[in-house]
């Protein structure tokens, strides 16, 4: 039989020893988790910067396209195109 099916009770000393082992395990891993957290935060910052850059590029492209449409309506730079009404 395995210990999980019929566990034997642990003494107070054994429980204290297990707690020390578990605490040591967690403390040892905190260092690694802090590094992982810093890594994840840096990744997040990079993705945010990329998204902002793409958004800026899209804004500039739209503004440039809008400016081209407006300039097509101009005969000469700075002057509005002359429009005449059709006579019926």
* pLDDT, tens digit (0-9, with 9 covering 90-100), for 12-34: 999 999 999 999 999 999 999 99
Contact 40, 32 (CB under 8 A): no
73 CB-near residues (< 8 Å, 6+ apart): 80, 81
pLDDT in tens, 41-83: 999 999 999 999 999 999 999 998 887 766 555 555 555 556 6
């Amino acid at each position: 039989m395995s210990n999980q099916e019929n566990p034997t009770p642990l003494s107070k000393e054994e429980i204290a020893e297990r707690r020390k082992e578990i605490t040591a395990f967690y403390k040892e891993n905190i260092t690694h988790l802090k590094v992982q957290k810093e890594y994840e935060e840096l990744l997040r910052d990079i993705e945010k910067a990329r998204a902002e850059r793409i958004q800026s590029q899209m804004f500039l492209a739209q503004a440039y396209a809008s400016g081209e449409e407006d300039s097509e309506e101009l005969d000469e730079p700075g002057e509005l195109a002359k429009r005449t009404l059709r006579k019926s």
